[in-house]
Structure 1
Amino acid sequence: MGRARRPRPPHVPLRSASLTRTEGEWVVRTVPGSAASDRSYRCPGCDQLIPGTAPHVVVWPAGEYGSVDDRRHWHATCWAARDRRGPGRRRH
């Protein structure tokens, strides 16, 4: 017998995204640079611009209350360090 497959996470439409996962209270979607848009975003972790063509993650609250307006684009490293850094803190 084969291994049981894990259920797929619920689909939330987002253009050009590749991998979606749940991290606690958050849905996190990885966006590769090759699939990103030409729009820039401001990372809430470091307050720096993310060129739309750069790889990054898009994060929003999990559950029925998350909406398109709740999505935030983060540098993947800023998202990974969010517990140690806090929003908007820059490293010097």
Structure 2
Amino acid sequence: MVRSNRSRSRAARARQEHQELDVERLTAGWRRTESRSGREWNVQPVSEAQAVKAYLCPGCGLDVAPGVAHLVAWRADGVLGDAADLASRRHWHIHCWRIGTP
């Protein structure tokens, strides 16, 4: 049997990197709605296992490191629609979200 030298995982990763933004997949799970400063916010927790990238927390200005549980928040009542609100989502440290005002 002939063996291919091409890595199948590399090809699979390339296909996954260019997927369109799936609003339903990103808003599923433990998402909740909170009111802050007269605005509605969608808030979704991210577990340690799901946190694979570093983000800048808008509350404290420090990095949310990979492997650190945190929250993702985006407007629930934006005038430009769900896709635009989801594209402007921000990753917050849990403590910063609790004490901060977006």
Q: TM-score scaled by structure 1?
A: 0.66
Q: Distance in 1 between matches of 2:86 and 2:49?
A: 22
Equivalenced residues, count? 72
The letter of the residue matching 2:68 is: A
**2:46 counterpart of 1:35:** no
Deviations 1:1-31 (A, max 9, x none): xxxxxxxxxx74229x852100021000001
Residue of 80, 84, 89 corresponding to 1:71: 89
Q: Gapped runs of 5+ residues in structure 1?
A: 1-10, 88-92
Deviations 1:34-82 (A, max 9, x none): 2222x10000000000013210000000046243321100001000001
Residues 62 and 54 of structure 1, relative CA distance in 2, 3 Å threshold: same
Flag the structure with higher helix content.
2
Moved beyond 6 Å, runs of 4+: none
Matched residue, 1:57: 71
Bigger Cα Rg: 2
Q: Distance in 1 between matches of 2:93 and 2:24?
A: 20
SS at match of 2:68: coil
Percent identity between the two aligned chains: 38
Q: TM-score scaled by structure 2?
A: 0.60
Cα RMSD (Å) of the superposition?
A: 2.4
Matched residue, 1:13: 25
